[in-house]
């Protein structure tokens, strides 16, 4: 039965779950999870000036003295920005164009980038932030810095050629030296187990995790002559592509070819099973390539954002949001196609950072778009509840109430649906507009669900919805 006049806590998007489970959302748009429920997703603020071309990589970091460094890589240029408030390119260096995503890392005061079509490139304040190739470095799909080394995965160089399962490490404490040597500990090797090449790699503490699409290996520094020892992680978890892993602080969030995982260095744990994984990997009009997903962890909201394409050729305009603290999900959209994702904000103690995405503005010209709580999301947000009711009792619903933590959901509207069985609640029924904190609606049947359109008022706090209350009377039983 419907728990009349009792608060039902909202537990986030769960289209794969049992639809009669209290508190789930079976659908939503521009609604994201919080530690207390869900809220309207922020909109996007477009920064100026326009960028040189379509951005395929970005890095926000700092030098050893704390000076900020922002790098944007495009199909035409590497751009270094030294002031996040007024992002004027300090140096533009033309490089070979490529549609592949860039991999970037900081190593001391040196910024290192790799686009796989030329050798690893470096820049620092000593070079005037002008990029130049590291003479004996390999071309690499992914680069990572850990334990005073730079590691490269999926490499191409003169000695061994193109080998997707080969890794290299630089000399210890020297990113510019890659010639194998026992004294410097620069070396190389292959991980042939499980077949296939590396899809991603990321530091995890002092170690490195190297991913194939259905396997993962933990690399530990053990000194000469082995230097890096690689241990196979049991199971079949892997990463679908280079943007499919993000560090959530002591663990990795992973998008695999057919599942989501969390890995803290012990064993990978599947997440989203019977909640959202089946819809994401098998449906949601998901005709785009999973390997092209881009993941970002927002430390401020403890949420992972997984940008993906809803259909072939549509570009990454859609985003699943996973709250690490609560294990709940949401879904948001962007009006443009996302080409890169990173962080934006000052690098100072207590400085506020937020998610930044790069997107084309309907042409080849790129812009940065900042996740901004002062801008309305597009399209406007909606959320659809699970199915409420009972097979033996009819209920006359009179109104709904949204229990909000921050501000009231002023201006919200509701469309109700009814059905005789829990699997067929499809008949459009009552409608209502918020009045004095409640959504008046009139509908009568055994089973009910509600699609609520949420408000957004520019300059006002968006409501955080913790629970929903359904008011009504039972109308007979059979």
Top-confidence range, 121-135, 161-175, 364-378: 161-175
Give the model confidence (pLDDT) of 349-373 as tens digits.
344 455 666 665 554 555 566 665 5
pLDDT band per the 50, 70, 90 thresholds, residue 166? very high
The pTM (predicted TM-score) of the whole model is 0.91
Instruction: Please state which of the ranges 115-129, 229-243, 279-293, 434-448 shows the lowest mean pLDDT.
Output: 279-293
For residues 258-268, average pLDDT: 95
Residue 292 gets which letter from DSSP? G
Instruction: Please state which of the ranges 44-53, 63-72, 172-181, 458-467 shows the lowest mean pLDDT.
Output: 44-53
| 8 A C-beta contact, residue 91 and residue 129 | yes
Beta-sheet pairing, 269-271 with 294-298: unpaired
CA trace torsion 434, 436, 439, 441 (10° rounding): -110
Q: Is 476 exposed, middle or buried (0-12, 13-18, 19+ CB in 10 A)?
A: exposed
| 8 A C-beta contact, residue 391 and residue 446 | yes
Look at phi and psi of residue 56 and say left if phi exceeds 0, alpha if psi is from -120 to 50, else beta.
Answer: alpha
- Nearest CA to 25 out of 327, 328, 317, 431 is that of 328
| 8 A C-beta contact, residue 122 and residue 109 | no
Q: Please, what sign has the CA dihedral across residues 30, 309, 252, 46? A: negative
Residue 73, strand partner residues: 57, 78
φ and ψ of 126, to 5 deg? -65, -30
| 8 A C-beta contact, residue 157 and residue 183 | no
What's the distance, CA 275 to chain centroid? 18
| 8 A C-beta contact, residue 379 and residue 43 | no
């Amino acid at each position: 039965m419907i728990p009349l006049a009792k608060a039902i806590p909202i537990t986030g998007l769960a289209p794969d779950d049992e639809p009669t489970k209290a508190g789930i959302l079976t659908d939503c748009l521009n609604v994201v999870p919080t530690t207390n429920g869900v809220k309207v997703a922020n909109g996007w603020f477009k920064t100026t000036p326009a960028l040189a071309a379509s951005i395929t990589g970005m890095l926000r970091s700092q030098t050893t003295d704390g000076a900020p460094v922002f790098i944007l890589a495009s199909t035409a240029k590497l751009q270094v920005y030294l002031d996040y408030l007024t992002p004027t390119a300090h140096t533009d260096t033309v490089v070979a164009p490529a549609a592949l995503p860039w991999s970037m890392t900081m190593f001391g005061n040196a910024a290192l980038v790799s686009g796989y079509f030329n050798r690893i490139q470096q820049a620092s304040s000593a070079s005037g932030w002008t990029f130049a190739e590291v003479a004996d470095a390999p071309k690499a799909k992914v680069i990572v810095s850990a334990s005073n080394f730079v590691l490269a995965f999926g490499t191409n160089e003169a000695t061994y050629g193109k080998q997707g399962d080969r890794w290299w490490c630089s000399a210890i404490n020297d990113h510019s030296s890659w010639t194998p040597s026992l004294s410097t500990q620069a070396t190389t090797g292959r991980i042939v187990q499980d077949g296939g090449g590396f899809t991603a790699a990321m530091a995890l503490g002092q170690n490195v995790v190297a991913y194939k699409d259905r396997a993962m290996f933990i690399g530990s520094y053990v000194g000469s002559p082995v230097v890096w020892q690689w241990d196979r992680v049991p199971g079949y978890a892997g990463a679908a592509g280079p943007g499919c892993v993000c560090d959530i602080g002591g663990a990795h969030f992973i998008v695999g070819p057919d599942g989501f995982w969390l890995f803290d260095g012990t064993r990978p744990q599947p997440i989203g099973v019977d909640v959202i994984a089946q819809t994401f990997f098998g449906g949601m009009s998901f005709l785009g390539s999973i390997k092209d997903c881009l993941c970002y962890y927002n430390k401020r909201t403890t949420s992972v954002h997984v940008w993906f394409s809803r259909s072939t050729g549509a570009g990454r305009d859609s985003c699943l949001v996973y709250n690490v603290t609560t294990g709940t999900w949401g879904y948001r959209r962007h009006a443009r196609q996302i080409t890169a994702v990173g962080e934006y904000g000052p690098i100072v103690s207590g400085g506020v950072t937020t998610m930044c995405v790069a997107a084309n503005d309907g042409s080849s010209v790129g812009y940065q778009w900042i996740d901004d709580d002062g801008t309305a999301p597009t399209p406007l947000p909606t959320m659809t509840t699970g199915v409420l009711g009972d097979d033996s009792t009819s209920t006359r619903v009179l109104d709904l109430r949204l229990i909000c933590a921050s501000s009231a959901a002023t201006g919200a509207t509701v469309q109700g649906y009814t059905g005789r069985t829990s699997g067929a609640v499809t008949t459009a029924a009552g409608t209502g507009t918020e009045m004095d904190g409640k959504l008046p609606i009139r509908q009568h049947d055994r089973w009910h669900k509600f699609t609520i359109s949420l408000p957004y008022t520019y300059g006002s706090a968006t409501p955080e919805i913790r629970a929903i209350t359904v008011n009504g009377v039972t109308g007979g039983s059979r």
